[in-house]
Amino acid sequence: MEKRPDNYLSRLRQQPLLWNLLLIAALILAMAVAAHILMKVGTRHGARRTVPDFSGVALHDAQRIARKHDLRLHINDSLFVPAYEGGIVLDQLPEGGVEVKPGRTVYITINSFRQKMVPVPYVAGRSLRQAKNMLEIAGLEIAELVYRPDMATNYVLEEYCEGKPVTPATRMEAEMGSGVTLYVGVEEGRGTTVVPRLVGLPLMQAKGRLWELGLNVGNVDFDEGVNLLNQKEARVYVQIPGAEHSAALGSKVSLRLTLDGQKVDKLRAEAEKQAQAAAEERRLAEQQRADSLAQAALEEASAEPAEERPADNGNEGFFD
């Protein structure tokens, strides 16, 4: 005769320790199963969504498309690109076509409706380096350096923004990223500088190097594929004139940038060789000039002036 399950349960209940251990084990097992099921539901295990390409889509349309795909949008940054309408999505992360879990946040960059306006700082009376730093902190840059004769070399004499003079009392605003013209002093005989090495640098860093040394930014060209969104990743691979060449203060240096890292590395090695050759050539020219000046000074010091002798009028000893 088979024993009924109730008999087993009755016997287990008669042993409190064993019965409690069994209940605890059953409870832990039930909690583990429930947690596993809840985790699958909460994370939607196995569910995937393909991120749409929001580039060029208006913000309100992008939000509607995101809801349809069970995704969320977060505005991470904004730029001002005049070629696009305000509110247009310019960039996104993750990119379109990537598979993600439902509920994933997609970070987007949109086009501002207008460029941000910032106060123009007064930088006259400061060194060129200080003026550059103040303008960059304000969100502005140098449009042009114009040199004038003055005893204080590389000190800002005057400042102009949009053709108007900037004074200590001026309360002027300009679009972020716009340029300010600086009139800078240069003492006679100190009007040259050395072109820095710029290959491998991003555009803003290359501009800063030029301004600090009293040089202007000439033509800036980009390889195909470089745009306002990825411009920060582009690097200089050509500069004209090359590094280590002498240049007059206020001269322009033209730049070309690319996103191709291999091209940058290859041309950087060539630029380094050319820079070393130019530095050696400049050193020899300076040495030759110094030798010429020393030789001229030596010849002048060794030359004896002709002594003036009194005329012999035959009256020597007249008053003896």
Q: Is the pTM of this model over 0.85?
A: no
Could you give the angle at the alpha carbon of 70 between the alpha carbons of 66 and 76, nearest 5°? Answer: 45
Mean pLDDT along residues 283-293:
83
161: alpha, beta or left, given left = phi > 0 and alpha = psi -120 to 50?
A: beta
Q: Name the average pLDDT for the chain.
A: 87
The one-letter amino acid code at 131 reads A
Token pair 């076509």 is at which residue?
97
Distance CA 2, CA 10 (A): 15
d(CA 55, CA 92): 7
pLDDT tens by residue, 8-44: 667 767 777 777 887 888 889 888 888 877 776 665 5
On whether the CB atoms of residues 166 and 124 are closer than 8 A, the answer is yes
115-190 CATH: 3.30.10.20
Q: Which numeric CATH code is attached to 191-299?
A: 3.30.10.20
191 in Cβ contact with 147 (< 8 Å): yes
Q: Do domains 49-111 and 191-299 have the same CATH topology?
A: yes
Of 79-88, 98-107, 135-144, 234-243, where does mean pLDDT reach its minimum? Answer: 79-88
How far, in Å, CA of 157 to CA of 211, rounded? Answer: 15
Alpha-carbon distance 271 to 197, whole Å? 8
Spatial CA neighbour of 208 closest among 135, 138, 263: 135
Enter the CATH code of domain 49-111. 3.30.10.20
User: How many other C-beta atoms can be found within 10 angstroms of the C-beta atom of residue 1?
Assistant: 3
- Is the separation of the CB atoms in 129 and 184 below 8 Å? no
Query: Residue 67 — very low, low, confident or very high, per pLDDT cuts 50/70/90?
Result: very high
What CA–CA distances, in Å, run from 239 to 77, 178, 183, 212, 277? 31, 23, 25, 17, 16
- Per-residue pLDDT reduced to its tens digit, 97-118: 989 989 899 999 999 888 889 9
Question: Which is it for strands 179-186 and 141-149: parallel, antiparallel or unpaired?
Answer: parallel
Residues 247-258: b if buried by 16+ CB within 10 A, e if exposed: bebbbebebbbb
**What is the percent of the chain with per-residue pLDDT over 90, rounded to a whole number?**
58
Cross-strand bridge partners of residue 133: none
Instruction: Count Cα atoms within 13 angstroms, Cβ side, for 291.
Output: 6
- 303 or 137: which carries more pLDDT confidence? 137
Residue with tokens 């009392």: 169
Structure-token pair, residue 98: 């990537």
Closest CA to 117 of 58, 161, 74: 161
Please compute, for residue 37, the number of CA atoms within 13 A of its CA located in the half-sphere on the CB side: 6
Q: How far apart are the C-alpha atoms of 210 and 309, rounded to whole Å?
A: 62
Q: From CA 126, how far away is CA 121, in angstroms rounded?
A: 12
- Under the banding of pLDDT at 50, 70 and 90, the label for residue 75 is very high
Collect all residues with Cβ–Cβ distance below 8 Å to 94 and sequence separation of at least 6: 51, 100, 104, 106
Domain ranges of the chain: 49-111, 115-190, 191-299
What letter does residue 137 receive in the DSSP assignment?
A: H
Predicted confidence (pLDDT) at residue 61 exceeds the cutoff of 50: yes
Pseudo-torsion of CA 206, 207, 208, 211, nearest 10°?
A: 130
Element (H, E) at 204: helix 203-212
